[in-house]
């Protein structure tokens, strides 16, 4: 998985009790655009994310 600053990270829900999460990638810390990513989530929180198989990157402006 590769990303650029400004791309969206979408993490799908794996249960009925939780919702899909979306956030803006504000920093790419891995080599060649790979994880981990610093993400600003839709609720305003920021955190370091190591995306799993339920995540995908949507290019900026998509």
At 4-29, the pLDDT tens digits run 999 999 999 877 787 889 999 999 99
Residue 62 confidence class, pLDDT cut points 50, 70, 90? low
Q: What's this model's pTM, rounded to 2 decimal places?
A: 0.88
Please give the pLDDT value at position 53: 92
Please give the pLDDT value at position 17: 82
DSSP string, the chain: ----TT-EEEE--SSTTS--EEEEEEEE-SGGGPSPEEEEETTS-EEEE---TTEEEE-TT-
């Amino acid at each position: 998985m590769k990303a650029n600053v400004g791309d969206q990270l979408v993490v799908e829900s794996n249960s009925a009790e939780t919702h899909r999460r979306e956030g803006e990638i504000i920093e790419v810390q891995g080599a060649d655009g790979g994880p981990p990513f610093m993400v600003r989530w839709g609720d305003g929180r920021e955190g370091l994310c190591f995306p799993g198989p339920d995540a995908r990157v949507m290019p900026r402006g998509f």
